[in-house]
Amino acid sequence: MKKLCYVATIPDVVYSFLKDHIDASAKKWQVTVVTHPKDSGLLRDLDARLIPLDIRRKAAPLHDLAVLFRLTMLFRRERFDLVHSIMPKTGLLAMLAARLAGVPVRMHTFTGQVWANRRGWKRRAYKTFDRLIAAFATHILVDSPSQRDFLVAEGVLPRGKGEVIGHGSICGIDARRFRPDAQARAAVRAELGIGLEQTVILFLGRLNRDKGMLDLAAAFTTIASRRGDVELVLVGSEEDVPFARVQEICGEYRERLHRMGFTPYPERYMAAADIFCLPSYREGFGQVIIEAAACAVPTVASRIYGITDAMEDGTTGLQFPAGDVDALVGSLQTLLTDAAMRRKMGASARERALKLFDSGTITAELMKRYEELMR
């Protein structure tokens, strides 16, 4: 039996993006998942062997060398037919280890570039790491057409090497899970103390600067000063923007600010929202946008590569220049004041998401690609 290995930095990513692929792979092949031991309980139902490995997201040179050694030994011992990695540093370590161990098929998925909005030596260094990933891998997947074009234009990928499954997205949308749900809408709002008559703006993702968290806080403060019927819900783990900082920016309107940590049930919060907002500075695709879309929720998001594939400006939501807080306020105000527009865009968003990003289709295409490569 052929042997596959998925390598990801944290279990959250495995659960959110790779779960369906792993379940489908396990029906045909022997599957191993290597990820950080923290929160690995999320993966207890996977039909795969779990190997805990302390892969850290931030640079730790000596520790990273130890991880590289352990991965190389693991790959040599297990003699995997295919190793598939996701996330930047994990991709670099896994693809180099797989090459050193002689793994015949080495695949990495690019889901966004940490250097896209950086300048100076950091941009050059991180960009070099992505070039090395592309060099060590035998096959590269990219989760959006515009991201692939960006990587080619920046000289990270040679033309023709990056492959996009379908229309984009690493895992697509399960329409049975992500859908309009009046019961979940009422339940979540009750849990958060938000009335059904209130208009809810939702952000779901990591609380960090690159996601535009400070811009969203400033925009909400302006909107809240003008309207008393708007609430902001933040769902996700803290990174370089503490929730206390968001509360500080919102000032007297912090009582209309609500936060939940990481959730394995994002669909509940999508169903409770009226507008989804992603004011990001960099994004490989914007998976959360199509999740909201499948729940018939329109999006306000920055006009950057990746996001331009996940939504259609003027039809499934509104886009604005990244970093322009006034334009963000304007786009949110447009949807807040026009419920009919929200409903129309939400319906169009759901139709587009289900047509272009069906999860079953994307998983089936990936399994087909695995079969072709492992022959």
Q: What is the pLDDT of residues 172-192, one digit of tens each?
A: 999 999 999 999 999 999 999
Weakest mean pLDDT among 37-41, 287-291, 306-310: 37-41
Query: Over 220-289, what HEC string results?
Result: HHHHHHHCCCEEEEEECCECCCCHHHHHHHHHHHHHHEEEECCCCCHHHHHHHCCEEEECCCCCCCCHHH
Domain limits, the chain: 3-172+359-374, 182-356
The whole-angstrom distance between residue 274's C-alpha and the CA centroid of its chain comes to 21
pLDDT at 349: 98
6 vs 21: CA distance, rounded Å: 10
pLDDT at 160: 83
Looking at domain 182-356, its CATH superfamily turns out to be Glycogen Phosphorylase B; (3.40.50.2000)
Q: What is the DSSP letter of 20?
A: H
Give the model's confidence band at 159: pLDDT under 50 very low, under 70 low, under 90 confident, else very high: confident
* pLDDT tens-digit readout, 7-19: 999 998 999 999 9
Q: Has this prediction a pTM greater than 0.85?
A: yes
Percent of the chain residues past pLDDT 90, beyond the cut = 92
305 vs 309: CA distance, rounded Å: 7
pLDDT at 58: 84
Per the prediction, the chain carries an average pLDDT of 96
pLDDT at 282: 94
Mean of pLDDT values over 271-288:
97
State the architecture of 3-172+359-374 in CATH terms: 3-Layer(aba) Sandwich (3.40)
* pLDDT tens-digit readout, 219-246: 999 999 999 999 999 999 999 999 999 9
Q: Check for a shared fold between 3-172+359-374 and 182-356.
A: yes
Residue 375 has pLDDT above 90, yes or no: no
